[in-house]
Amino acid sequence: MRAERRSAVEGAGQASARVAYPLVRVYRTSPSPYQLPMADVAARSGLSPELVSRFVALGLVDAERDARGRLWFRSGAPSAIARVQRLRAGLDLNYAAIGVVLDLLDRIERLETALRRSERAAKEPTTWT
């Protein structure tokens, strides 16, 4: 019985000897917002991975490449792709024009946010001391 226990322990020791360690230690100060792989984004959006990578190349969707060259997306990427698809179907625009429309819509949103913030600040009473 002792021989069986020893062989089990020795076998466990051999398995731990096969552990591989990376050559470079990577420290992240915060978790990456890019956590969705290409396959998940393509499946959630109902598009082919080739079309999703074309959207990335055109700058319509934000993505990050890892050391192996794989694309990783933010959690909002499927909704951004749906927005591109709605603009393409609704306005019958090419993808370059959609990029311009998206930039304009983002600028309008930033301006509206700044306007709301300044209106709120104007409504607050100022106290003079």
53-65 pLDDT, tens digit per residue, is 999 999 999 999 9
β-strands 36-37, 71-73: how paired?
A: antiparallel
Q: Does the predicted TM-score (pTM) go above 0.85?
A: no
What dotted CATH number matches 28-121?
1.10.1660.10
93-106 pLDDT, tens digit per residue, is 999 899 999 999 99
Task: Kindly list the domain boundaries of the chain, sorted by start residue.
Answer: 28-121
2-48 pLDDT, tens digit per residue, is 444 444 444 445 555 666 665 665 555 556 788 899 999 999 999 99
Tell me how far apart the alpha carbons of residues 95 and 25 are, in angstroms, rounded to a whole number. Answer: 40
